[in-house]
Amino acid sequence: MNIALIGSGGREHVLCQKIYESSLSKKIFCIPGNPGTSNIAENVNLEINNFTKLLKFLKNNKVSLVIVGPEGPLVKGLTDFLNDHNINTFGPSKFASKLEGSKSFMKTICKKNKIPTAKYKTCKNKKDVNIFLKENIFPIVVKADGLAAGKGVTICYNKKEVNRVTKEIFGGKFKTSKKLVIEEYLQGDELSYFLIVDKNSYKFFGSAQDHKKVGERDKGPNTGGMGAYSPAPILNKKLENKILKRIVDPTLKALKKMKKPYTGFLYVGLIIVKGNPYLIEYNVRMGDPECQVILPRLNSDFLKIIISSINNKLSKIKINWKNKKCMTIVLCSKGYPGKFKKLVPIKNLNKIKLKKNIFIFHAGTRFLGDKLFSNGGRILNVTSIGTSFNLVRKRILKTLKKLNWKFGFYRKDIGWKVI
Ligand code: AMP
Ligand code: GLY
């Protein structure tokens, strides 16, 4: 079977690896892919938002299955478009993708179905914001309504900050929307919980904990993710039952009732307060870097799972996981998440001999000729799987030391709460 994978980050590198390992895959196209995927797939430099061009390429190359990595094309309706043109596409519909594409949509579903989430108000102007501020105490969280590439959320500690951030959003800083959601701050542990969903059922697809803050001990500004580990030790059967019963089931039921059933990966972003789960966000895709620590633990054929889901037969399969711990540490460009240099050579990578239990996934890299360069804020995801978080972290740090990329930095304390 010819397969196309859409995306170009670390998440797509590990997805590509799993597709490559599947007994069902023949030819893989990664659109646009990255230097990591170019070793196992054919990278195709197409603009992924040009659906018509994409369709032409897929038809010409007899692609029969498309897997979409990032949220952008899902929210724009790529799944609907390709399915309407008879190309099986894995990912939620445009309507269902609003769970991630619009915070106010997600919050309305919560309100209508009594799903536990932070108390909130959708605001269209300063007056709305002031009404919320009068009734609530700081810190307060301000979120742009539409997609904002991980930069749309600010935790505000005083009115001045709220005024600054809300003014930016109303002024159109995030082009996807001028609306915002303002909500109460929840104090607790974060958990990323994943499912694969079809029209009839769903299956657990891993848990992880992500470190979003740039600095050690989770200090400093938010980033796209500095590292993650899986499984999340905080998750137990009792908590999982609460997540499913109070949050996931009512959401999926609500979408079905609107005749818009959810399909694809579902990322449930939670904060656990005194043993009870609160929904912070839905993402309509795998997490990045969570995917890089979940997929190495998968012990079943990845494509067989995806195909079962497309055929709405997930209930018939069993998904097996390795009883192992996995961690990834993100190597970033110095300056990230602020300003950083691009196109800096990465010289040592091909000199490093990787053992079986260590993987390096490419995120922000590119080739110029046959030489590798940095091409973003998050460059490489050094990942390891083994018997304990302590052991895998040691292996990763040793590898990063060997790589010795002087223009980058990384957190040495990923997993500090569990090691
Ligand atoms: P989001 O994009 O909604 O996941 O928000 C990004 C990050 O901001 C989350 O992973 C949390 O660390 C933090 N955050 C978002 N909403 C809240 C909240 N209501 N209370 C506390 N932290 C939050
Ligand atoms: N790691 C956070 C995200 O993928 O949104």
Give the pLDDT band (50/70/90) at residue 174: confident
What CATH class is the domain 189-316? alpha beta
The domain limits of the chain are 2-91, 119-184, 189-316, 325-409
Q: What is the pTM of this model?
A: 0.96
What pLDDT is recorded for position 234?
Answer: 96
What pLDDT is recorded for position 109?
Answer: 97
H helices of 95-248, in order, are: 98-101, 103-112, 126-135, 159-170, 237-242
- Testing ligand 2's pocket by substitution, the residue of 290, 291, 293 carrying the most ligand atoms inside 8 A of its CB is 290
Pick the CATH number of 325-409 from 3.40.50.1970, 3.40.920.10, 3.90.600.10, 3.40.50.970: 3.90.600.10
pLDDT surpasses 90 at 394? yes
What pLDDT is recorded for position 114?
Answer: 98
Q: Quick check: CB of 100 below 6 Å from ligand 2?
A: no
Ligand 1 centroid from CA 70, angstroms: 19
- Testing ligand 2's pocket by substitution, the residue of 210, 222, 229 carrying the most ligand atoms inside 8 A of its CB is 210
Q: Quick check: CB of 209 below 6 Å from ligand 2?
A: no
What pLDDT is recorded for position 177?
Answer: 80
Q: What is the mean pLDDT of residues 64-89?
A: 97
Cβ-proximal residues to 97 (8 Å cutoff; 6+ apart), any chain: 71, 74, 75, 77, 79, 91, 284
Burial 205-227 (b: 16+ CB within 10 A, else e): bbbbbbbbbbeeeeeeebbbbbb
Ligand 2 centroid from CA 151, angstroms: 11
Ligand 1 centroid from CA 287, angstroms: 14
Give the pLDDT band (50/70/90) at residue 143: very high
* Percent of all residues in the chain with a pLDDT value above 90, rounded to a whole number: 94
Q: Quick check: CB of 287 below 6 Å from ligand 2?
A: yes
Pocket of ligand 1 (CB under 6 A): 118, 141, 143, 153, 183, 185-186, 190, 212, 222, 269, 271, 280-281
Alpha-carbon distance of 7 to 4, in angstroms, equals 10
pLDDT surpasses 90 at 329? yes
What pLDDT is recorded for position 182?
Answer: 95
Ligand 1 centroid from CA 191, angstroms: 11
Q: Which ligand is nearest to the CA of 147?
A: 1
Cβ-proximal residues to 192 (8 Å cutoff; 6+ apart), any chain: 207, 208, 209, 210, 228, 232, 267, 268, 269, 270, 287, 290
Residue nearest to atom 3 of ligand 1 (CA): 281
Ligand 1 atom with least separation from CA of 184: 19
245-264 pLDDT, tens digit per residue, is: 999 999 999 999 999 999 99
pLDDT surpasses 90 at 317? yes
In the DSSP assignment, the letter for residue 399 is: H
What pLDDT is recorded for position 255?
Answer: 98
| Listed residue (75, 313, 79) closest to 196, CA to CA | 313
Residue nearest to atom 5 of ligand 1 (CA): 153
Q: Which ligand is nearest to the CA of 378?
A: 2
Q: 275: which 2 tokens? A: 């043993």
Ligand 2 centroid from CA 230, angstroms: 14
User: Under a CB-based contact definition with an 8 Å cutoff, are residues 361 and 381 in contact?
Assistant: yes
Q: 323: which 2 tokens? A: 């009883």
Strand partners for 191: 270
Ligand 2 centroid from CA 289, angstroms: 7
Burial 245-258 (b: 16+ CB within 10 A, else e): ebbbebbbebbeee
Would you call 46 helix, strand, or coil by DSSP?
coil
Q: Give me the half-sphere count of Cα atoms (radius 13 Å) on the Cβ side of residue 209.
A: 19
Q: Which ligand is nearest to the CA of 70?
A: 2
Fold of 2-91: Rossmann fold (3.40.50)
Ligand 2 atom with least separation from CA of 285: 4
Give the pLDDT band (50/70/90) at residue 151: confident
Q: What is the mean pLDDT of residues 141-159?
A: 89
In the DSSP assignment, the letter for residue 321 is: B
Alpha-carbon distance of 110 to 170, in angstroms, equals 24
| Listed residue (117, 152, 101) closest to 285, CA to CA | 101
Task: Specify the residue for token string 């930095």.
Answer: 409
Ligand 1 atom with least separation from CA of 269: 4
Residue 172 Rama label (left phi>0; alpha psi -120 to 50; beta)? left
| Listed residue (27, 18, 111) closest to 64, CA to CA | 27
Ligand 2 atom with least separation from CA of 283: 5
Give the pLDDT band (50/70/90) at residue 178: confident
pLDDT surpasses 90 at 99? yes
From 104-108, 143-147, 190-194, the region with the lowest mean pLDDT: 143-147
Q: What is the mean pLDDT of residues 208-228?
A: 93
What pLDDT is recorded for position 32?
Answer: 98
What pLDDT is recorded for position 176?
Answer: 77
- Testing ligand 1's pocket by substitution, the residue of 153, 165, 281 carrying the most ligand atoms inside 8 A of its CB is 153
Task: Specify the residue for token string 């430099």.
Answer: 45
Q: Quick check: CB of 290 below 6 Å from ligand 2?
A: yes
Mean model confidence pLDDT for the chain = 96
Q: Is 302 exposed, middle or buried (0-12, 13-18, 19+ CB in 10 A)?
A: buried
345-388 pLDDT, tens digit per residue, is: 999 898 899 999 999 999 999 999 999 999 999 999 999 999 99
Ligand 2 centroid from CA 44, angstroms: 25
Alpha-carbon distance of 239 to 234, in angstroms, equals 9
Q: Which ligand is nearest to the CA of 189?
A: 1
Q: What is the mean pLDDT of residues 257-285?
A: 97
Ligand 1 centroid from CA 393, angstroms: 26
Q: 2: which 2 tokens? A: 């010819």
Looking at domain 119-184, its CATH superfamily turns out to be: ATP-grasp fold, A domain (3.30.1490.20)
User: How many Cβ atoms are within 10 Å of 124's Cβ, its own excluded?
Assistant: 13
Residue nearest to atom 3 of ligand 2 (CA): 287
In the DSSP assignment, the letter for residue 403 is: H
Alpha-carbon distance of 374 to 376, in angstroms, equals 6
Cβ-proximal residues to 398 (8 Å cutoff; 6+ apart), any chain: none
Ligand 2 atom with least separation from CA of 291: 4
In the DSSP assignment, the letter for residue 246 is: I
Ligand 2 atom with least separation from CA of 288: 4
Radius of gyration for the chain, computed over Cα atoms and rounded to the nearest angstrom: 21
